[in-house]
Structure formats: C-alpha cells, structure tokens
Amino acid sequence: MSDSLQQNNLGAGSRRLTVVALDDNPDDLELLRVYLKALPRWEIDFYPFHFDSPRSRLPPGDPDIIFIDHQLGMETGFSGLQKIRNSGIGSPVILITGHSDEKVAVEAIRAGVSDYIEKQSLSTEGLDRAITNSLEKQKLQVEIQRQREELQKSNRDLIRKNDQIRNFYHTISHELKTPLTSALEFISLTLEGQAGPVTATQKEYLEIAKDSCRQIGAHVNDLLDMTRLETGKLSVSPHPAQFEPVLLRILPMLLHQATEAELNLRCDIQPDLPNVMIDEEKVIRVLSNLVNNAVKFTRAGGEIKVSAGLLEVPAPCVEVCVRDTGRGIVAEELENIFDPLFQVRKSDTVTMGGLGLGLSICKEIVRQHGGEIRVESEWKKGSAFFFTLPVAGPEERMEILVVDDDELTQDAMKRVLEREGYRATTVEGGKKALQTLENFTPNLVLLDMHMPEMNGPRTLKEIKKYWPHLPVVIMTSNPRSELVEEALSLSPVTLLAKPCKRQQLLDTVRGILEPPEVHRKEV
C-alpha cells in the first residue's frame, strides 16, 4: 500500500463522487474501496457491484465513475462495458487490469474506456490521475457532442436556406424568361416592320434593345442551368454523332461574334473523326460558352482557334480545344476557375458582365458526357480550354425515328436502315412520335406527311418547336401536295419521294448523318 493512502484530509477543493466498481473478487473490491476513501481530493460514495451478488446495489442516477475489472468471471470487462453502454449509462469507465499488457490497454481505449490502471501498481496518485483524466475527458466529450449537435443543426439550417435560395433563383429565372421571350418577339416584329415603318435610328435602337434582351436571356439560362445542376436535373442524353456538324451549326454565330469583336476565328478539325457520344445541344452550350469567354477576354486583332482531334489514350476520345491569344489567367487563379461563381478579380477587374457560372456549367456537362475539361493559360499570353468527348463504341449506333402510319413501309425502312448499321425505331403517328422524342432524341427523323389524327406538318411544327436542331426528312408520295408546301414553309427540310429506292434512302440518311469530306475544310 502506498504512503499516500495514510493521508485522507479532504481539502477545500474536494468533490463528492459516486463510484460504482464491478469486480467478481470481493477482496479486490475492498482494496479499491480503501484506496478510493484515501483520496484527498474526492469524497467517495462507493457502490461495489457484482452481477451475481444479491447484496450489490447501484446508485439512483448515473455514477460519476465506473471501475470495471478486466476479468469478470465468465465475462470480460469489455462485454461488461458493452452492457453498461447498452443500458444507456454514459459515465466514464476505468478498466482495472490484472497484468500490464499494452495490447489490453490499446484494446480498452478502443472499446471506449476512459483510462486503465493495473491492479499490482494501485496507488492513490494513480487513481487520482485516472479519475481526473476520465472526468476531464468526459467533460470534453460532452462539449464535443454539444458542438457536433450545434454544427449539425447549422448544417441543416444552411441546407434549408440553400434550398430556399436555389428555389428562389429557379423561380425568378422562370418568371424572367417568359416576359423576356415576349419582349424579344415584339422587338423582332417591330424590326420586321409589322407595326409600321421603322426609321434607321429606331432600327438601330431596337437592335441594341434586342441585344440587351439576349444578354439577359443568356444570364437567365445560366441561372436556370445552375439550379438544375445543383438539383441534379441538368442531365445529358448522349447518343452517337459526329462532332463537326455540331460545330458547323453554331459556326455562323461564333463567326459573327468574332467579327464584331474584330477577332480572327479559325477552325481546325481533324478529318475522319469517329462518332462521339454527345448530347448536341449541351455540347453546343459548352462550345459557345468557351468561345464567348475567348471573345470577351481577347483584345481586337487577336485570334481564337477551335480545334478537334482524336486522342487514343487513356481511352479513345475526341479532344476539343478553344484557344485564344487574350489576357490569360494568372496561375493561382487557374485552380478555382471551374468553381461556380468564380471570377478572376485580382488580375483584371473587368469580368465583362458574366455571372461566373459558365465554366462550372461546362464542367458538369462535360463530366456527364464522361469527359474532362481543363485549362492551360499564361497571363498576358492567352488561354486554351480543352474538353474531351468519349468515342462511341461499335454497339452505340446512330438512331433514326421512322414516323409512318403504314406498317409495311415501317418494316421495310427498319430493315434497310438496320442492315446498314443504324438503329431504327418506328411509330405509327405524330402523337406517338412526340411522346417517343420526350424519352430519347434520335439523330434523325423520317416523317410521313399523310397520317390520320396528327399529320406531317403538325408533327413537324411541334418537333421544330421543341427540338429545333433535330434533322427531319419528309417522306411523301405527292411532293406537290398542300401538306408538303405547308411543311416546307415551316422549316428547311429534306424531301424524299415515296416509294423510294433503298440506295436513295441510304444516301439521304448518310448525307445528313455523316457529312461528306467537302464540309470538313478549315474555315
């Protein structure tokens, strides 16, 4: 017994402690009681406890400390500890071991005991230290738990507020879109002279108003996409297609922008690129955003180059690059460039009216295509944005939707097209075609004109309204009919006479889906 056991003079700072001790050996329990009573800083209410003893009793509330013997007859101290915890008692537990074994100590701490002491070196100092440590740890744990709960609560609050802000953005973007579309429509009508003659000055002012509306429209679209992105609703539906026609579709617009800004725009597309898996509208969004930025941040006289080439490793993909000779981006800003709301401020105060959303939207679109986006840039020298699009596998075939009420025609076309490697879906009418388009976007639609219920022109009108860039081929046995005239007035479409020869059908389809080499000249 240590000397300190002799002195039991409770000091001014003494505290009353309820202690429960679990041990199957009454002598050990008695020894522990004597030592505890000898502690100078604590006044101990001691509750020796034995699972099998009828004389054992427990204090009314949770004890301040629990001592538990490592060997409890049939049980180990660990299973005893588990029982204590399972019954909802959170008091700190000190393990008493019969031997000095580091493994037991580590195991004990892992199992959740606050401290451990060895029976053979029991001393008042050791007990005092273990009790003080355990109570201190307990206090810290309570505090950590309190802070964790507080943090969880503020996290929940933040998520709720974030949701509210996101919903608000979504609602106002939608609310802005409708009047904006109508404003644009009326400006266009006025410009066309539908409201009376327009003077040159009025025309000039209206064009400015139209440009401003378009700019607001672009911001509104960014906001809508951002909210869709955050709610996981910005989804892409990739299908096999050529990259080049996608670029060709927006090239006139890009050229117009570049010319306005007195920039030279060049394209260099590697010939014979394989089909890529793309959602054309979304890839157009990425391309135009990158070129828009290049135009914004490059001084007059500079150059923008859009190029695309095949990369074989790590997996076959087409890499597209938009390179400019503009102001560039300083190295430390590059890291965050694709973060939402990020705008380079340090290097240049001019953010050119953007919202800082474009690149993050591009990143998400490219990611959803299974590609990657990255940037290389040097301050004052220019930037190059690269993104990859995975090459379509042989099993990923171009899709054609055949809309015809005649079953025989449907079957014949399906057979011809599928033998040629296309995937063909057939539907018997306009309504069914529109329902099908809601679920997947084919590469091409072959549309009959004379159909009951919803005829060709009505179907075409709906298709052009919601899928304006989807190529449609009109099939008709009477090219001079009123229906064909009506269809042609709606949009420029390709005509195919019915019945048509196999080769004629395939040439028409190929001409649209796989443009010949002559279109691939450098612009």
Question: Between residues 378 and 514, which has the closer beta carbon with respect to ligand ADP?
Answer: 378
Closest CA to 51 of 31, 80, 71: 80
Half-sphere exposure of 144 (CA within 13 A, CB side): 6
The reply on whether position 326 binds ligand ADP by CB under 6 A is yes
The answer to whether residue 294 forms part of the interface with ligand ADP (CB under 6 A) is yes
Residue 287: which of 253, 333, 315 has the closest Cα?
A: 253
**Residue 381's CB: how many other CB atoms inside 10 A?**
11
* Chosen residue from 114, 293, 459, 508 binding ligand ADP by CB under 6 A: 293
Nearest-CB residue for ligand ADP: 354
Does 327 contact ligand ADP by CB under 6 A? Answer: yes
Question: In this complex, which beta carbon is closest to ligand ADP, that of residue 165 or of residue 350?
Answer: 350
What's the chain's length in residues? 523
CA–CA separation, 483 and 430 (whole Å): 14
Residues 335-394 that bind ligand ADP (CB under 6 A): 337, 342-344, 351, 354-360, 383
* Interface segment toward ligand ADP; rule CB under 6 A; list 5-13, 167-175, 272-280, 292-300: 292-300
Q: Compare residues 274 and 354 and give the one whose CB is closer to ligand ADP.
A: 354
Identity of the residue, 326 or 429, whose beta carbon is nearer to ligand ADP in the bound complex: 326
Q: Binding of ligand ADP at residue 49 (CB under 6 A)?
A: no
**The one among 42, 46, 116, 297 contacting ligand ADP by CB under 6 A:** 297
Nearer to ligand ADP, 276 or 359 (CB): 359
Using CB under 6 A, pick the residue from 244, 324, 364, 428 that binds ligand ADP.
324
Interatomic CA distance for residues 426 and 433, integer angstroms: 9
Handedness of CA 42, 45, 48, 49 (dihedral sign): negative
If one asks whether residue 471 binds ligand ADP (CB under 6 A), the answer comes out as no
Please name the helix (run of DSSP H) or strand (run of DSSP E) that holds residue 33, with its range, or none.
helix 26-37
The Cα–Cα gap between 47 and 68 comes to 12
Nearer to ligand ADP, 36 or 373 (CB): 373
Q: Does 334 bind ligand ADP (CB under 6 A)?
A: no
Tell me if 285 sits within 8 A of 403, measured CB to CB. Answer: no
CB of 359 to ligand ADP, least distance (A): 3
CB closer to ligand ADP out of 319 and 376: 376
Residue 516 CA to chain centroid, in angstroms?
A: 37
Residues of this chain that interact with ligand ADP (CB under 6 A) are 289, 293-294, 297, 324, 326-327, 329, 337, 342-344, 351, 354-360, 383
